[in-house]
Each structure stands twice: as structure tokens, then as C-alpha cells.
Chain A
Amino acid sequence: MHGGMQKRNWSGRAIVLLPYLWLVVFFLTPFVIVLKISLSQTAMAQPPYTPVFDLSAGLAGLREFVGELSFDSFQLLFTDLIYLLSYLKSLQVAAISTLVLLLIGYPFAYGIARAPRGWQPLLVMAVVLPFWTSFLIRVYAWINILQRDGLLNDVLMKLHIVDAPVSWLSSDTAIYIGMVYSYLPFMVLPLYAVLEKMDETLLEAAADLGCPRWKTFWLVVVPLSLPGAAAGALLCFIPIVGEFVIPDLLGGSETLLIGQTLWSEFFSNRDWPVASAIAVTLLVLLLVPMLFYERLQKRSLEGGR
């Protein structure tokens, strides 16, 4: 047995080496570079920032390099109101969207969990299927509906609810619809996973003891489903804060979300240091919810190991 263990250790190292190296090179190193460029200054050059670290200059080059680093980009982020408003708007949109997602997703997941056993895989599949179809397509589908001469206005005018077409697109309402629509499967699936596993006898016990159904729901079902609700909420909240496609296609141009601000700093202004500084602050902002999510994920996958 001991010999086998040692052998497994050796082959284990070989197994972990390839994905480990890949992630260090293509996931960890890029963040170090982003951090470095966020401390650089914009320049009219290729690449458009200074200082550029020159490996061949050795230790002296390193000292010179460190001396030239600056916090200008971060200073700009905290003094120019545009960026601060952009962060606040992102947090607001993410918080409200997550709340709406919980309100719609919970009854949805609960209904699936209570459906007859034979139906459940089919219903789960029905929730997953849109998640497999392209994000871009799902957002685009809403443009068809929400645009000025689109279906929603058509229906509303035929029903005489409105007299003139309303511009639904380029508004916060459209952003919320897009967010809730695109992220609904992410909310429903973790919720369903905990609700489906819930011990039936607990509910029967409550019913036998004369607890009304709604009270059982609040006192037993909801508390037991909190891990699923937390996982779903984080799985929606974190990416929504940095979302780009949905606000860009459905939203207006008054206040940009932070993902759009990063995008335009990079692609339109070609200000790489500021774009990097936005990425760094966004990451710091999301670090706590991300660590929280990782712990939930680890606990559910590794059984609290």
C-alpha cells in the first residue's frame, strides 16, 4: 500500500502540473500585469504606457522602473465623479437585479421541486436550455420586443394601454429586464438543488403538528434553502456588477455601468492604465463576495473537506 501511495504521489504531481501551469501563466500572471499597468502612465507609444519594464537592464532597470510607477490612474478614479457614479450605478443595478431574480427565481425553483418526480428532469432541462443558447442572442431577442416599433408597443397600443409608442430601449428598465432574463437560470438551478434535496419528513412533521402550510414554508423551507439562495444570489450579483453586453445593447448612454466604462477607456480612449486601474478596483470590490462564493462552492463540491 505504501509503495502504491508513493507512486500515486508521483503521478499525482504529473496530473496537477499541466492545469496548474496553465492557470498560473494565463490566469494569475495576467492579473500581475494588470496591476503593473494600472500603476503606469499613459503615453503616445506602442504599447501605450510607460514605464515599460526592461528585463535586460537588470537590477538597475528594476529600480528605475519602480521609481517611475505612479498612482495617477487611481487618483483619477477617486477624484473624477464619472468613475464613482459608474461604480455606484453598477452596484445598484446588480443589487436590484439580484433581488428581483430572487423574487422570481424562488417560486419558480420551488414549483419545480414540488412537481411530480417524473416531470422534474424535463423542467430542469427547460431551465437549462436557454442558458446554453447564446447570451448575445437572448439580449438581442429583447431588442426585437422592446424597440420603438417592436412587439411590446404594438401589443400595448392594440390593448389601448398606451396611445403612443413608448421608448423602452435605452432605459434602466430595459437593463433590468435583460439582466433578470439572462441570469434567471443561474438563480433557479442552485435554489432547485437545495429545495429538491430537502428532507420530506421535516415538512410532514410540521404538518402533523398542525403547522399551516405557509408557516411551514417560512419556518422550515426558507431557512433550509438559504445556502442555495446565497449561491444563486452571488452567482448573479458578481458577474452583473461587471456586465458589459446587456447594458451596452439595452441601456442608455447617460450613466454607464463600470464594465462599459472599462471597455470605453480601453477601446475608445486607449487609456490602458486607467482601464487597468478600473479592473483592479473592480476586483477589490468583488473580492469579498467572490471569496464567499468560493467557500460555498467548495463546501458543496467537496463536502466540507
Chain B
Amino acid sequence: MQRGASPFNIVSVAFGLAFLYLPITILVIYSFNASRLVTVWGGWSLAWYRELLNDAALLQSAWISLRVGVLSATAATILGTLAAVALVRLGRFRGRLLFSGMVYAPLVMPEVITGLSLLLLFVALNVDRGFWTITIAHTTLTMCFVTVIVQSRLIGFDRSLEEAAMDLGCPPLKTFLTITLPLIAPAIAAGWMLAFTLSLDDLVIASFTTGPGATTLPIRIYSEVRLGVKPEINAVCTIMIAVVAAGTIVASLITKGSAARRERAALGAQV
């Protein structure tokens, strides 16, 4: 790509970033507003955050969402990584077309369809709906995102290290665990993060597959938001934004650090 940005380029990037960040910034600022009214600025205050700590129902929902997120992201990372390895390394196998179709479809499938179909499955199997059904649903949704991330890492990957290990008599499983896995670890970590945030974020699929006693944070927020803007909700949202922003920055530092280490190692090998 040709370097050198024209004034038009600069303006369009600035406009795009402002469009993306202005609404979120406003939301964060108003979570610290002492006044209950959105348009009236009553000075800085942490009142709404204190109120959150007393809201037992909300805290319980947050706890449920957190557990669903960790469990489903972990399961999705294992399944998604296996699927990525299968798609990149196995070449042709029986049923590959169906497999890759099932892997890519959930990426764009409207959530109402995925949610409805999973619910009908759980009803047909006569399973009690609640915590576990949401976890299974989120695993199914998010494993495909993990697959895509790990797959792109596996494709741009030097196989000579694996081949060297195998030539020296290392069994395939051990080669995978000691050579391949550490090399694709950053992609796996990024996949887990994405799966976790997608699970934390999901309203539609969770609403279909939930049952009594399993109200996740988005379901709780949604039912409050339908009644209008509340400063407490601004505060919850700000906390979630802060958690996600911190997580993303840490994740990118990890991947960057490992990329830098790889580069240094490669340089060292050349010298």
C-alpha cells in the first residue's frame, strides 16, 4: 500500500474513530454523574457504583455470566483448536465439506436461529434448562471463532520444527504438545479471550436457552434497559468496558511480546 496519508485520509480516520468512541465515552462519563438525569451534570460521584454493590440480583447475574463465560470459553477453545488442527493438517477426509460448513456457518448465522434451534433440541431431549444449557449453547457458538483464529495461525506456520522433531523420533502426540502447541499458544489465548467476551456479551442465545434461576448479566441488563436509561446501568456497563479493555490490552501485549521474542530468536539463529 502506498504510504503518505492525504488530508481526506486523515479526516476519514478521525471521523471513524470519533464515531466509534464518542457514544462509549459519553456513557462512561455519565456513569460518574451525581445527577439521576442524563442531561443534567451534577458533578462527579461514585454513588451509582456504591449502589451496584448493594444490588444482590445484579451481582448474582454477573457471577453466573462469569462462570458460563469461563467454562464455555475453555470448552470452545479445546474443541475449536482441535477443529482448526483437523482443517489445516488432515487435508482431505471423509465428511470434510460438511465439517467445514458447520464450522463457518455459526460465524454469520443470525442468533435468533441458533438460539431457537438449540432450545428446541433441549426441549426434545427433555433437559432441564439453565446454567448448563447456556454453557453448551455458548460453547457451540464460540468454538467456531476460536477455530478461525487458530486456523489462520496454523497456516502461516513453519512446519520444519515439527518435521525435525518427528525425524528425530518424537511421537506425533508429543510433537504436538511440545512443539506445535507452544507455537500456536498466542492464537489459542486470543481465541479464548474472544470466546469469553462473546459469551459475556450474548443476550439472544442465552435468552432462548436459559431456565429458572439462570439469569445472565446481559439478560438482566436488557430487562432494565427496556425500562429506560438508569445511571446504575451506566455504571455496570463502564465496569464491563474496563474489564474488556484491560483484557484486550493485556492479550495484545502477550501476543506482541511473543512475536518480538520469536523475531529475536530468528535473528539470533541468523547470526
Question: How does the 8 Å CB contact mask read for A254-268 relative to B, with 1 for contact and 0 for none?
Answer: 000001001100100
Whether the pair A19, B1 counts as a contact (CB closer than 8 A) is no
Q: Which residues of A contact B37 (CB under 8 A)?
A: 149
With beta carbons under 8 angstroms apart, the residue of B24, B108, B117, B244 that contacts A290 is: B108
Whether the pair A19, B86 counts as a contact (CB closer than 8 A) is yes
Q: For chain B residues 36-57, which have a beta carbon within 8 Å of chain A?
A: 37-39
Q: How far is the CA of A115 from the CA of B173 in the complex (A)?
A: 44
With beta carbons under 8 angstroms apart, the residue of B26, B151, B172 that contacts A151 is: B26
Q: Which residues of A contact B101 (CB under 8 A)?
A: 294
Whether the pair A141, B23 counts as a contact (CB closer than 8 A) is yes
Chain B interface residue number, banded: 35 or more
Which of A67-75, A78-86, A271-279 binds B?
A271-279
Q: How far is the CA of A294 from the CA of B222 in the complex (A)?
A: 32
Which of B14-22, B181-189, B263-271 binds A?
B14-22
Q: Which residues of B contact A30 (CB under 8 A)?
A: 117-118, 120-121
With beta carbons under 8 angstroms apart, the residue of B8, B24, B104, B229 that contacts A147 is: B229
Determine whether B257 belongs to the interface, using a CB cutoff of 8 Å to chain A: no
Closest to A149 in B: B39
Determine whether B74 belongs to the interface, using a CB cutoff of 8 Å to chain A: no
Question: How many residues from A make CB contacts under 8 Å with B?
Answer: 102
Question: How does the 8 Å CB contact mask read for A87-105 relative to B, with 1 for contact and 0 for none?
Answer: 0000000000000000011
Determine whether B102 belongs to the interface, using a CB cutoff of 8 Å to chain A: yes
Q: Which residues of B contact A297 (CB under 8 A)?
A: 104, 107, 148
Q: List 14 A-B pairs, Cβ < 8 Å.
A: A18-B82, A19-B82, A19-B83, A19-B143, A27-B106, A114-B5, A127-B16, A132-B247, A136-B203, A136-B221, A188-B16, A279-B112, A283-B113, A297-B107
Pick the 10 closest A-B CB pairs, nearest first. Answer: A242-B110, A30-B117, A107-B12, A108-B16, A111-B13, A111-B9, A19-B83, A141-B23, A16-B86, A30-B121
